[in-house]
Structure 1
Amino acid sequence: MSKKVTEIVEEMVTPILDESGLELVEVEYAKEGKSWFLRVYIDKEGGVDIEDCGQVSEKLSEKLDEVDPIPQNYFLEVSSPGAERPLKKEKDFEKAIGKNVYIKTYEPILDEKEFEGILTGFDGREVTLEITVKTRKKSVVIPYEKVAKARLAVTFS
């Protein structure tokens, strides 16, 4: 099998989501304990509800049964990405401008590998964050290819 399970599932679920006006956030295939889990995170403007998740789960489950791309038994979970939605694609970063985000980098930038602040800019090559250091605001520019993980960050005020 040349394609990864996540890629196959992404190709299968995209048309289902398109017809329902939903967007794919992430497909995850992971072993936890003795069980395998196929998790599909979906979203839409205003958020998804249990009905959206149920419909996608039902349609995707039918397709998976037809094609049977996964040899082992697994549990299918379709859900919202939650408040701390991962930022995976360029469009995710563009949509998150003005929001509080958490970014972890592959290597240190200004002696740090973890940053949290307001995403103030993204041009496809660089991510610009406004962070607060000892009550002073400071801008940090992170090369996009150095971003290991990024997500929205929930702030409690």
Structure 2
Amino acid sequence: MARRDVEEAVEKLLEPGLEREGLELVDVEYVRERNWILRIYIDKEGGVDLNDCQTVSEKAGMLLDEADLIPDNYMLEVSSPGLDRVLKKDKDFIRYTGEDVDVKLFAPLEGKKGVKSFTAKLLGLAEDGALFLKTEEGEISLSRDKISQVRLHFSF
């Protein structure tokens, strides 16, 4: 099973139960570092704590063992997405409209030689999925296929 297929299958398996518990499934990553790692990022109003992560880890581990979705040996990690969380889904972009974000691009912006990352205010999401952003130079619209990553901007 391909990496993305595993992530989608795990998301479909776990999301309903997490929602019943008042938790949001923020993201699922299945990556090979030294070994295969299945990372589940959860959140809730007011933030998650260690007990939330432990409970989800135990319940998810049992569900994943029963479903037998992943043929490889892997380590399961459950954590909070953090203050500088990655925004991936439409609901993330809608929820964080008005917030500052750090944007990384696959290639420099047209007319901006070498600029592949910048901080902007997230103004919203277009129907076609493009992001509306306000930069120092003005407002821009960027299609998601040009964007490598969007994270909430965190400053001290």
Please give the TM-score of this superposition, normalised by the length of structure 2: 0.86
In structure 1, the residue matched to 2:107 is: 107
Aligned letter for 1:26? D
More strand by share: 1
Further displaced range: 107-116 or 48-57: 107-116
CA distance in 1, matches of 2:27, 2:21: 17
Aligned residue-pair number: 151
Unaligned runs of 5+ in 1: none
100, 120, 128: which one aligns with 2:132? 128
Deviations 1:83-105 (Å, cap 9, x if unpaired)? 11111111101111121101122
Aligned CA RMSD, in angstroms, stands at 1.9
Q: Does 1:10 align with 2:11?
A: yes
Name the aligned partner's letter for residue 87 of structure 2. L
**Paired position in structure 2 for 1:55:** 55
Q: Could you tell me how far 1:106 is from its partner in structure 2?
A: 3.2
**Cα deviation, residue 121, structure 1:** 2.7
1:27 and 1:81 mapped to 2: Cα distance?
A: 11
Specify the alignment match of 1:84 in structure 2.
84
Measure how far apart 1:129 and its partner are: 2.1
Change (3 A) 1:155 1:124: farther
With 58-67 and 100-109 compared, the bigger mean Cα shift is at 100-109
Pairing partner for 1:117 from 117, 120, 125: 120
1-structure distance, mates of 2:78, 2:126: 31
1:99-133: CA deviations, max 9, x gaps?
A: 1101122333242332212212322333222223x
Find the residue that maps to 1:155 and give its secondary structure.
coil
- The ranges of structure 1 where at least 4 consecutive aligned residues each deviate by more than 3 angstroms after the TM superposition are none
| Corresponding residue number in structure 2 for 1:25 | 26
Local SS of the residue matching 1:109: coil
Give 1:154 deviation, angstroms.
0.7
Q: Which runs of 5+ in 2 are unaligned?
A: none
Identity across the alignment (%): 46
**Higher alpha-carbon deviation: 114-123 or 56-65:** 114-123
| Contact 1:119/1:128 (<8 A) preserved | yes
